[in-house]
Protein backbone atom coordinates (compact mmCIF):
# COMPACT_ATOMS: atom_id res chain seq x y z
CA UNK A 1 0.00 0.00 0.00
CA UNK A 2 1.44 3.37 -0.99
CA UNK A 3 2.02 5.78 1.87
CA UNK A 4 -0.34 8.34 0.34
CA UNK A 5 -3.35 6.05 0.93
CA UNK A 6 -3.08 6.08 4.73
CA UNK A 7 -4.59 9.56 4.73
CA UNK A 8 -5.64 11.02 8.06
CA UNK A 9 -4.34 7.93 9.88
CA UNK A 10 -0.78 9.02 9.07
CA UNK A 11 -1.13 11.80 11.65
CA UNK A 12 -2.42 9.54 14.41
CA UNK A 13 0.79 7.94 15.82
CA UNK A 14 2.54 11.26 16.41
CA UNK A 15 -0.63 12.91 17.72
CA UNK A 16 -1.22 10.00 20.11
CA UNK A 17 2.34 10.18 21.42
CA UNK A 18 2.14 13.93 21.89
CA UNK A 19 -1.24 13.87 23.67
CA UNK A 20 -0.18 11.01 25.95
CA UNK A 21 3.10 12.78 26.73
CA UNK A 22 1.36 16.00 27.70
CA UNK A 23 -1.33 14.32 29.83
CA UNK A 24 0.57 11.43 31.46
CA UNK A 25 4.08 12.97 31.54
CA UNK A 26 5.38 9.47 30.72
CA UNK A 27 7.54 10.36 27.73
CA UNK A 28 9.02 6.95 26.93
CA UNK A 29 5.78 4.98 27.23
CA UNK A 30 3.91 7.60 25.20
CA UNK A 31 6.46 7.59 22.41
CA UNK A 32 6.50 3.81 22.21
CA UNK A 33 2.70 3.72 22.17
CA UNK A 34 2.75 5.98 19.12
CA UNK A 35 5.41 3.83 17.43
CA UNK A 36 3.44 0.65 18.12
CA UNK A 37 0.15 2.04 16.81
CA UNK A 38 1.84 3.30 13.63
CA UNK A 39 3.72 0.03 13.10
CA UNK A 40 0.50 -1.92 13.66
CA UNK A 41 -1.17 0.08 10.88
CA UNK A 42 1.78 -0.60 8.57
CA UNK A 43 1.58 -4.39 9.06
CA UNK A 44 -2.14 -4.62 8.44
CA UNK A 45 -3.51 -4.00 11.93
CA UNK A 46 -1.84 -7.04 13.51
CA UNK A 47 -0.84 -5.95 17.05
CA UNK A 48 1.73 -8.72 17.55
CA UNK A 49 3.41 -8.06 14.21
CA UNK A 50 3.16 -4.35 15.02
CA UNK A 51 5.16 -4.87 18.21
CA UNK A 52 7.90 -6.68 16.27
CA UNK A 53 7.93 -3.95 13.61
CA UNK A 54 8.12 -1.30 16.36
CA UNK A 55 11.32 -2.83 17.72
CA UNK A 56 12.73 -2.97 14.19
CA UNK A 57 12.00 0.74 13.72
CA UNK A 58 13.93 1.48 16.92
CA UNK A 59 16.88 -0.70 15.87
CA UNK A 60 16.99 0.79 12.38
CA UNK A 61 16.97 4.37 13.64
CA UNK A 62 19.42 3.88 16.50
CA UNK A 63 21.91 2.18 14.17
CA UNK A 64 21.63 4.80 11.43
CA UNK A 65 25.09 6.35 10.97
CA UNK A 66 24.31 9.96 11.90
CA UNK A 67 22.15 8.93 14.84
CA UNK A 68 24.80 6.56 16.23
CA UNK A 69 27.31 9.40 16.18
CA UNK A 70 24.88 11.77 17.86
CA UNK A 71 24.27 9.22 20.62
CA UNK A 72 28.02 8.72 21.03
CA UNK A 73 28.41 12.50 21.23
CA UNK A 74 25.73 12.57 23.94
CA UNK A 75 27.47 9.89 26.01
CA UNK A 76 30.83 11.65 25.65
CA UNK A 77 29.26 14.91 26.76
CA UNK A 78 27.85 13.09 29.78
CA UNK A 79 31.32 11.78 30.62
CA UNK A 80 32.81 15.24 30.19
CA UNK A 81 30.23 16.84 32.45
CA UNK A 82 30.74 14.16 35.09
CA UNK A 83 34.45 14.94 35.16
CA UNK A 84 33.80 18.69 35.20
CA UNK A 85 31.52 18.29 38.22
CA UNK A 86 34.26 16.27 39.93
CA UNK A 87 36.75 19.08 39.28
CA UNK A 88 34.48 21.77 40.77
CA UNK A 89 35.29 23.92 37.75
CA UNK A 90 31.69 24.75 36.88
CA UNK A 91 31.00 26.22 40.31
CA UNK A 92 34.31 28.08 40.26
CA UNK A 93 33.49 29.67 36.89
CA UNK A 94 29.95 30.46 38.03
CA UNK A 95 31.36 32.26 41.07
CA UNK A 96 33.61 34.34 38.80
CA UNK A 97 30.81 35.20 36.38
CA UNK A 98 28.34 36.06 39.14
CA UNK A 99 30.72 38.81 40.26
CA UNK A 100 30.10 40.48 36.89
CA UNK A 101 26.47 39.42 36.34
CA UNK A 102 24.51 41.33 38.94
CA UNK A 103 20.88 40.87 37.89
CA UNK A 104 18.51 38.22 36.61
CA UNK A 105 18.07 40.23 33.44
CA UNK A 106 21.81 40.20 32.78
CA UNK A 107 21.96 36.44 33.37
CA UNK A 108 19.09 35.78 30.93
CA UNK A 109 20.49 38.24 28.38
CA UNK A 110 23.94 36.64 28.62
CA UNK A 111 22.38 33.25 27.96
CA UNK A 112 20.53 34.60 24.91
CA UNK A 113 23.63 36.21 23.45
CA UNK A 114 25.80 33.14 24.03
CA UNK A 115 23.19 30.96 22.33
CA UNK A 116 23.38 33.21 19.26
CA UNK A 117 27.16 33.60 19.35
CA UNK A 118 27.84 29.88 18.91
CA UNK A 119 26.06 29.85 15.56
CA UNK A 120 28.19 27.23 13.81
CA UNK A 121 26.07 24.29 15.00
CA UNK A 122 22.77 24.18 16.90
CA UNK A 123 23.58 21.00 18.83
CA UNK A 124 26.94 22.35 20.02
CA UNK A 125 25.37 25.71 20.86
CA UNK A 126 22.62 24.09 22.95
CA UNK A 127 25.08 21.93 24.85
CA UNK A 128 27.65 24.64 25.52
CA UNK A 129 25.21 27.43 26.35
CA UNK A 130 23.16 25.21 28.65
CA UNK A 131 26.20 23.81 30.45
CA UNK A 132 27.86 27.21 30.90
CA UNK A 133 24.82 29.23 31.89
CA UNK A 134 22.73 26.80 33.94
CA UNK A 135 24.70 27.35 37.17
CA UNK A 136 24.44 31.12 36.58
CA UNK A 137 20.71 31.13 35.89
CA UNK A 138 20.14 28.84 38.87
CA UNK A 139 21.92 31.26 41.18
CA UNK A 140 19.71 34.09 39.97
CA UNK A 141 16.56 31.98 40.33
CA UNK A 142 15.70 31.83 36.64
CA UNK A 143 13.43 28.86 36.08
CA UNK A 144 14.76 25.89 34.16
CA UNK A 145 11.77 26.27 31.84
CA UNK A 146 12.95 29.77 30.93
CA UNK A 147 16.50 28.53 30.35
CA UNK A 148 15.25 25.73 28.07
CA UNK A 149 13.11 28.22 26.14
CA UNK A 150 16.05 30.56 25.61
CA UNK A 151 18.22 27.67 24.41
CA UNK A 152 15.58 26.34 22.02
CA UNK A 153 14.68 29.74 20.59
CA UNK A 154 18.17 31.11 20.02
CA UNK A 155 20.33 28.19 18.90
CA UNK A 156 18.51 26.56 15.95
CA UNK A 157 16.94 29.79 14.59
CA UNK A 158 20.37 31.43 14.54
CA UNK A 159 22.14 28.44 12.98
CA UNK A 160 19.43 28.08 10.33
CA UNK A 161 19.95 31.60 8.96
CA UNK A 162 23.70 31.84 9.47
CA UNK A 163 25.92 31.85 6.38
CA UNK A 164 28.58 30.03 8.41
CA UNK A 165 26.90 26.99 9.96
CA UNK A 166 26.34 23.27 9.55
CA UNK A 167 22.78 24.01 8.38
CA UNK A 168 23.99 25.96 5.36
CA UNK A 169 25.10 23.00 3.25
CA UNK A 170 21.89 21.07 3.82
CA UNK A 171 19.65 24.02 3.04
CA UNK A 172 21.61 25.21 0.00
CA UNK A 173 21.81 21.63 -1.26
CA UNK A 174 18.02 21.29 -1.16
CA UNK A 175 17.60 24.59 -2.99
CA UNK A 176 20.17 23.65 -5.66
CA UNK A 177 18.51 20.29 -6.29
CA UNK A 178 15.11 21.88 -6.92
CA UNK A 179 16.51 24.65 -9.10
CA UNK A 180 18.00 21.93 -11.28
CA UNK A 181 14.69 20.05 -11.32
CA UNK A 182 12.65 23.04 -12.49
CA UNK A 183 15.34 24.17 -14.92
CA UNK A 184 16.09 27.54 -13.31
CA UNK A 185 19.65 28.80 -13.76
CA UNK A 186 20.20 30.69 -10.50
CA UNK A 187 22.71 30.57 -7.68
CA UNK A 188 21.33 28.42 -4.84
CA UNK A 189 23.47 30.32 -2.33
CA UNK A 190 22.18 33.71 -3.46
CA UNK A 191 18.60 32.42 -3.29
CA UNK A 192 19.37 31.22 0.24
CA UNK A 193 20.47 34.77 1.10
CA UNK A 194 17.33 36.22 -0.52
CA UNK A 195 15.19 33.97 1.67
CA UNK A 196 16.66 35.20 4.97
CA UNK A 197 14.50 38.37 5.27
CA UNK A 198 11.44 36.13 4.73
CA UNK A 199 12.34 33.69 7.54
CA UNK A 200 9.58 35.33 9.52
CA UNK A 201 9.14 32.74 12.26
CA UNK A 202 12.88 32.36 12.93
CA UNK A 203 13.39 36.12 13.12
CA UNK A 204 10.30 36.69 15.28
CA UNK A 205 11.25 33.84 17.62
CA UNK A 206 14.68 35.41 18.14
CA UNK A 207 13.12 38.84 18.65
CA UNK A 208 10.66 37.44 21.21
CA UNK A 209 13.51 36.10 23.34
CA UNK A 210 14.99 39.58 23.66
CA UNK A 211 11.59 41.23 24.16
CA UNK A 212 10.81 38.82 26.98
CA UNK A 213 14.26 39.08 28.56
CA UNK A 214 14.91 42.83 28.25
CA UNK A 215 11.36 44.01 29.00
CA UNK A 216 10.97 41.36 31.73
CA UNK A 217 7.67 40.10 30.31
CA UNK A 218 6.25 36.59 30.56
CA UNK A 219 2.82 35.08 30.02
CA UNK A 220 1.00 31.78 30.27
CA UNK A 221 2.67 28.81 32.02
CA UNK A 222 6.05 30.54 31.77
CA UNK A 223 4.82 33.39 33.98
CA UNK A 224 3.85 30.86 36.64
CA UNK A 225 7.22 29.13 36.39
CA UNK A 226 9.09 32.42 36.70
CA UNK A 227 6.97 33.55 39.64
CA UNK A 228 7.73 30.26 41.39
CA UNK A 229 11.44 30.69 40.77
CA UNK A 230 11.54 34.34 41.86
CA UNK A 231 9.33 34.13 44.92
CA UNK A 232 10.10 30.61 46.17
CA UNK A 233 13.61 30.11 44.82
CA UNK A 234 12.52 26.93 43.01
CA UNK A 235 14.06 26.68 39.55
CA UNK A 236 12.12 23.42 39.08
CA UNK A 237 8.50 22.67 39.91
CA UNK A 238 7.63 20.35 42.79
CA UNK A 239 6.62 17.53 40.44
CA UNK A 240 9.32 18.18 37.84
CA UNK A 241 11.36 15.30 36.46
CA UNK A 242 14.43 16.88 34.80
CA UNK A 243 15.34 15.27 31.49
CA UNK A 244 18.96 15.24 32.64
CA UNK A 245 19.91 15.17 36.29
CA UNK A 246 22.85 17.47 36.86
CA UNK A 247 24.34 15.14 39.47
CA UNK A 248 26.23 17.88 41.34
CA UNK A 249 25.16 16.32 44.66
CA UNK A 250 26.27 12.84 43.57
CA UNK A 251 29.72 13.91 42.34
CA UNK A 252 31.70 15.51 45.15
CA UNK A 253 34.95 17.35 44.56
CA UNK A 254 37.71 15.84 46.77
CA UNK A 255 38.71 17.99 49.74
CA UNK A 256 42.29 18.41 48.58
CA UNK A 257 41.25 19.95 45.23
CA UNK A 258 41.05 23.72 44.86
CA UNK A 259 38.50 24.26 42.05
CA UNK A 260 39.72 26.52 39.26
CA UNK A 261 37.51 28.26 36.71
CA UNK A 262 39.66 26.99 33.87
CA UNK A 263 38.92 23.37 34.84
CA UNK A 264 35.57 24.09 33.18
CA UNK A 265 36.72 26.56 30.54
CA UNK A 266 39.50 24.36 29.10
CA UNK A 267 37.34 21.40 27.97
CA UNK A 268 34.58 23.73 26.74
CA UNK A 269 37.10 25.78 24.73
CA UNK A 270 38.47 22.52 23.36
CA UNK A 271 34.98 21.45 22.38
CA UNK A 272 34.35 24.70 20.52
CA UNK A 273 37.78 24.86 18.91
CA UNK A 274 37.91 21.24 17.76
CA UNK A 275 34.33 21.47 16.46
CA UNK A 276 35.26 24.45 14.29
CA UNK A 277 38.53 22.88 13.13
CA UNK A 278 36.85 19.54 12.38
CA UNK A 279 34.06 21.16 10.40
CA UNK A 280 36.60 23.09 8.34
CA UNK A 281 38.83 20.04 7.85
CA UNK A 282 36.07 17.53 7.01
CA UNK A 283 34.52 20.01 4.58
CA UNK A 284 37.73 20.36 2.59
CA UNK A 285 38.93 23.69 3.93
CA UNK A 286 42.56 22.59 3.76
CA UNK A 287 41.99 21.34 0.23
CA UNK A 288 41.30 24.83 -1.07
CA UNK A 289 37.62 25.34 -0.39
CA UNK A 290 36.41 28.61 1.08
CA UNK A 291 35.12 28.77 4.66
CA UNK A 292 31.51 28.81 3.49
CA UNK A 293 32.06 25.90 1.11
CA UNK A 294 33.89 23.90 3.79
CA UNK A 295 31.09 24.33 6.32
CA UNK A 296 28.54 23.50 3.64
CA UNK A 297 30.26 20.15 2.99
CA UNK A 298 31.36 19.36 6.56
CA UNK A 299 30.72 16.05 8.29
CA UNK A 300 28.78 17.48 11.23
CA UNK A 301 28.33 14.27 13.19
CA UNK A 302 32.00 13.33 12.88
CA UNK A 303 33.06 16.82 13.93
CA UNK A 304 31.07 16.89 17.16
CA UNK A 305 32.20 13.37 18.09
CA UNK A 306 35.86 14.29 17.58
CA UNK A 307 35.34 17.49 19.56
CA UNK A 308 33.58 15.82 22.50
CA UNK A 309 36.24 13.10 22.69
CA UNK A 310 38.99 15.74 22.66
CA UNK A 311 37.23 17.66 25.43
CA UNK A 312 37.05 14.47 27.50
CA UNK A 313 40.78 13.92 27.07
CA UNK A 314 41.52 17.50 28.18
CA UNK A 315 39.46 17.33 31.38
CA UNK A 316 40.80 13.82 32.12
CA UNK A 317 44.36 15.15 31.84
CA UNK A 318 43.51 18.08 34.13
CA UNK A 319 41.94 15.84 36.76
CA UNK A 320 44.76 13.31 36.88
CA UNK A 321 47.68 15.59 36.09
CA UNK A 322 46.90 18.93 37.74
CA UNK A 323 44.17 18.27 40.31
CA UNK A 324 45.80 14.97 41.37
CA UNK A 325 42.51 13.11 41.61
CA UNK A 326 42.68 9.31 41.79
CA UNK A 327 41.77 7.41 38.62
CA UNK A 328 39.05 5.38 40.37
CA UNK A 329 37.29 8.61 41.43
CA UNK A 330 37.51 9.87 37.85
CA UNK A 331 36.07 6.59 36.59
CA UNK A 332 33.15 6.86 39.02
CA UNK A 333 32.46 10.41 37.80
CA UNK A 334 32.46 9.25 34.18
CA UNK A 335 29.83 6.61 34.96
CA UNK A 336 27.76 9.18 36.82
CA UNK A 337 27.98 11.28 33.67
CA UNK A 338 26.72 8.36 31.60
CA UNK A 339 23.77 8.04 33.99
CA UNK A 340 22.91 11.70 33.36
CA UNK A 341 22.31 11.12 29.68
CA UNK A 342 20.68 7.68 29.68
CA UNK A 343 17.13 9.02 29.71
CA UNK A 344 17.75 11.63 26.99
CA UNK A 345 19.35 8.92 24.85
CA UNK A 346 16.23 6.78 25.24
CA UNK A 347 13.97 9.73 24.37
CA UNK A 348 16.01 10.64 21.30
CA UNK A 349 15.98 7.04 20.09
CA UNK A 350 12.20 6.76 20.34
CA UNK A 351 11.67 10.27 18.92
CA UNK A 352 13.64 9.32 15.80
CA UNK A 353 11.66 6.09 15.54
CA UNK A 354 8.23 7.70 15.71
CA UNK A 355 9.36 10.20 13.10
CA UNK A 356 10.29 7.30 10.83
CA UNK A 357 6.90 5.67 11.46
CA UNK A 358 5.11 8.89 10.50
CA UNK A 359 7.15 9.16 7.32
CA UNK A 360 6.43 5.52 6.46
CA UNK A 361 2.72 6.26 6.85
CA UNK A 362 3.09 9.14 4.38
CA UNK A 363 2.30 12.12 6.60
CA UNK A 364 4.24 14.44 4.27
CA UNK A 365 2.44 13.53 1.03
CA UNK A 366 -0.90 13.58 2.87
CA UNK A 367 -0.42 17.12 4.18
CA UNK A 368 0.85 18.30 0.79
CA UNK A 369 -2.09 16.68 -1.02
CA UNK A 370 -4.56 18.50 1.21
CA UNK A 371 -2.76 21.79 0.65
CA UNK A 372 -2.57 21.48 -3.13
CA UNK A 373 -6.34 21.63 -3.46
CA UNK A 374 -6.60 25.16 -2.08
CA UNK A 375 -3.36 26.77 -3.24
CA UNK A 376 -3.16 29.98 -5.23
CA UNK A 377 0.06 31.86 -5.99
CA UNK A 378 -0.75 34.49 -3.35
CA UNK A 379 -1.59 31.95 -0.68
CA UNK A 380 1.33 29.65 -1.51
CA UNK A 381 3.90 30.90 1.08
CA UNK A 382 1.40 30.77 3.96
CA UNK A 383 0.13 27.31 2.98
CA UNK A 384 3.66 25.97 2.59
CA UNK A 385 4.51 27.43 5.99
CA UNK A 386 1.53 25.75 7.68
CA UNK A 387 2.23 22.46 5.88
CA UNK A 388 5.82 22.55 7.14
CA UNK A 389 4.56 23.22 10.66
CA UNK A 390 2.21 20.22 10.65
CA UNK A 391 4.79 17.85 9.17
CA UNK A 392 7.59 19.00 11.49
CA UNK A 393 5.32 18.78 14.52
CA UNK A 394 4.34 15.25 13.51
CA UNK A 395 7.75 13.77 12.68
CA UNK A 396 9.87 15.81 15.12
CA UNK A 397 12.61 16.87 12.73
CA UNK A 398 13.03 20.13 10.86
CA UNK A 399 15.57 18.65 8.43
CA UNK A 400 13.27 15.75 7.59
CA UNK A 401 10.45 18.20 6.95
CA UNK A 402 12.61 20.22 4.59
CA UNK A 403 13.49 17.07 2.68
CA UNK A 404 9.82 16.12 2.36
CA UNK A 405 8.50 19.51 1.24
CA UNK A 406 11.16 20.85 -1.12
CA UNK A 407 10.52 18.37 -3.99
CA UNK A 408 6.79 19.22 -3.94
CA UNK A 409 6.51 22.87 -2.92
CA UNK A 410 9.21 24.44 -5.07
CA UNK A 411 8.10 22.93 -8.42
CA UNK A 412 4.52 23.84 -7.48
CA UNK A 413 5.52 27.41 -6.72
CA UNK A 414 7.41 27.66 -9.99
CA UNK A 415 4.39 26.34 -11.90
CA UNK A 416 2.11 28.92 -10.22
CA UNK A 417 4.55 31.75 -10.94
CA UNK A 418 5.08 32.51 -7.24
CA UNK A 419 8.32 34.16 -6.02
CA UNK A 420 10.74 31.48 -4.90
CA UNK A 421 12.42 33.28 -1.99
CA UNK A 422 9.27 33.49 0.22
CA UNK A 423 8.32 29.89 -0.67
CA UNK A 424 11.77 28.61 0.29
CA UNK A 425 11.75 30.65 3.49
CA UNK A 426 8.30 29.25 4.37
CA UNK A 427 9.65 25.69 4.30
CA UNK A 428 12.84 26.45 6.20
CA UNK A 429 11.23 28.49 8.97
CA UNK A 430 7.95 26.53 9.16
CA UNK A 431 9.99 23.43 9.92
CA UNK A 432 11.49 25.24 12.91
CA UNK A 433 8.07 26.35 14.20
CA UNK A 434 6.79 22.78 14.20
CA UNK A 435 10.03 21.66 15.84
CA UNK A 436 9.62 24.17 18.68
CA UNK A 437 6.10 22.92 19.47
CA UNK A 438 6.77 19.20 19.22
CA UNK A 439 7.70 17.12 22.29
CA UNK A 440 9.31 14.55 19.98
CA UNK A 441 11.68 17.03 18.32
CA UNK A 442 15.38 16.28 18.84
CA UNK A 443 16.22 19.97 19.37
CA UNK A 444 13.41 20.30 21.92
CA UNK A 445 14.69 17.22 23.73
CA UNK A 446 18.27 18.53 23.75
CA UNK A 447 17.15 21.93 25.06
CA UNK A 448 15.38 20.21 27.95
CA UNK A 449 18.40 18.01 28.44
CA UNK A 450 21.05 20.71 28.74
CA UNK A 451 18.79 23.03 30.69
CA UNK A 452 18.14 20.07 33.05
CA UNK A 453 14.45 20.92 32.72
CA UNK A 454 11.37 18.76 32.91
CA UNK A 455 10.67 18.03 29.24
CA UNK A 456 6.89 18.38 29.42
CA UNK A 457 7.22 21.62 31.37
CA UNK A 458 9.57 22.97 28.69
CA UNK A 459 7.10 22.13 25.92
CA UNK A 460 4.13 23.57 27.82
CA UNK A 461 5.88 26.84 28.63
CA UNK A 462 7.39 27.33 25.16
CA UNK A 463 4.32 26.57 23.03
CA UNK A 464 2.46 29.86 23.79
CA UNK A 465 5.52 31.89 22.75
CA UNK A 466 6.09 29.80 19.62
CA UNK A 467 2.41 29.96 18.66
CA UNK A 468 2.33 33.75 19.00
CA UNK A 469 5.35 34.09 16.70
CA UNK A 470 3.88 31.47 14.36
CA UNK A 471 0.48 33.16 14.04
CA UNK A 472 2.11 36.49 13.24
CA UNK A 473 4.48 34.77 10.78
CA UNK A 474 1.49 33.21 8.98
CA UNK A 475 0.03 36.68 8.47
CA UNK A 476 3.36 37.95 7.18
CA UNK A 477 3.59 35.09 4.67
CA UNK A 478 0.13 36.01 3.39
CA UNK A 479 1.37 39.57 2.94
CA UNK A 480 4.53 38.35 1.18
CA UNK A 481 2.48 36.13 -1.11
CA UNK A 482 0.53 39.14 -2.30
CA UNK A 483 3.65 41.17 -2.98
CA UNK A 484 4.42 43.00 0.28
CA UNK A 485 8.24 43.27 0.59
CA UNK A 486 9.96 41.74 3.61
CA UNK A 487 11.31 45.11 4.73
CA UNK A 488 7.71 46.27 5.20
CA UNK A 489 6.19 43.04 6.51
CA UNK A 490 8.87 42.24 9.08
CA UNK A 491 8.62 45.52 11.07
CA UNK A 492 4.85 45.04 11.20
CA UNK A 493 5.40 41.54 12.57
CA UNK A 494 7.89 42.75 15.17
CA UNK A 495 5.45 45.43 16.34
CA UNK A 496 2.63 42.87 16.55
CA UNK A 497 4.71 40.38 18.54
CA UNK A 498 5.94 43.06 20.93
CA UNK A 499 2.47 44.50 21.48
CA UNK A 500 0.74 41.17 22.06
CA UNK A 501 3.53 40.02 24.37
CA UNK A 502 3.08 43.17 26.43
CA UNK A 503 -0.71 42.78 26.55
CA UNK A 504 -0.54 39.12 27.58
CA UNK A 505 2.33 39.43 30.01
CA UNK A 506 2.52 39.93 33.72
CA UNK A 507 5.11 42.22 35.26
CA UNK A 508 7.04 39.86 37.49
CA UNK A 509 9.96 41.92 38.77
CA UNK A 510 10.34 41.43 42.50
CA UNK A 511 13.28 41.93 44.79
CA UNK A 512 14.61 38.60 46.02
CA UNK A 513 17.31 38.46 48.68
CA UNK A 514 20.40 36.61 47.53
CA UNK A 515 23.92 35.98 48.66
CA UNK A 516 24.97 36.46 45.03
CA UNK A 517 23.69 40.01 44.71
CA UNK A 518 20.49 41.53 43.40
CA UNK A 519 18.42 39.09 41.39
CA UNK A 520 15.99 41.57 39.98
CA UNK A 521 16.27 44.85 38.22
Domain residue extents for the chain: 65-234+258-356+363-502
Q: What is the pLDDT along the chain (521 residues), one digit of tens a residue?
A: 444 558 888 878 877 876 776 677 676 788 899 899 999 999 999 999 999 999 999 999 889 887 888 788 878 988 988 898 899 887 787 677 777 888 889 999 989 988 887 776 677 678 778 888 888 898 899 999 999 999 999 988 998 888 656 576 667 777 877 787 778 887 777 788 889 999 999 999 999 999 999 998 999 999 999 999 998 888 888 888 886 665 455 678 888 888 898 998 898 889 888 888 988 898 888 988 887 778 767 787 788 889 889 999 999 999 999 999 999 999 999 998 888 777 667 776 887 787 788 778 887 677 667 666 667 778 889 988 998 898 888 877 787 777 777 767 777 777 777 888 999 999 999 999 988 888 888 788 889 988 989 988 999 999 999 999 999 999 999 999 998 999 999 999 999 999 999 999 865 444 333 333 344 44
Closest CA to 62 of 42, 35, 94: 35
Taking the C-alpha atoms of residue 394 and residue 382, their distance in angstroms, rounded to an integer, is 18
Helix (H, G, I), strand (E, B) or coil at 242: strand
Q: Other CB atoms closer than 10 Å to residue 284's CB: what's the count?
A: 15
Amino acid sequence: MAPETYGLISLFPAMLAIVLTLFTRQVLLSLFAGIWIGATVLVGWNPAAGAARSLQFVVDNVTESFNVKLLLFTFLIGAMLGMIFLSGGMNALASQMVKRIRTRRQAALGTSLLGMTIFVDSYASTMITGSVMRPITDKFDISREKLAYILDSTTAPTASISVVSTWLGFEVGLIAEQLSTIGVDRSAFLLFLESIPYRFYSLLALAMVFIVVIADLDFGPMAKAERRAREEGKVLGDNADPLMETQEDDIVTPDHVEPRWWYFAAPIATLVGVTGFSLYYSGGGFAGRSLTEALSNAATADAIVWASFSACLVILTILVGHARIAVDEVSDAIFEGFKMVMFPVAVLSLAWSIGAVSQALGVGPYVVAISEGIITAGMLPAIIFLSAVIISFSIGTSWGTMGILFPVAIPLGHALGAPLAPAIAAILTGALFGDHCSPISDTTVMSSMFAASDHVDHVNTQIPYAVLAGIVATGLFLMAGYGVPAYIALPIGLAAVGSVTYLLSEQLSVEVPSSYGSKAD
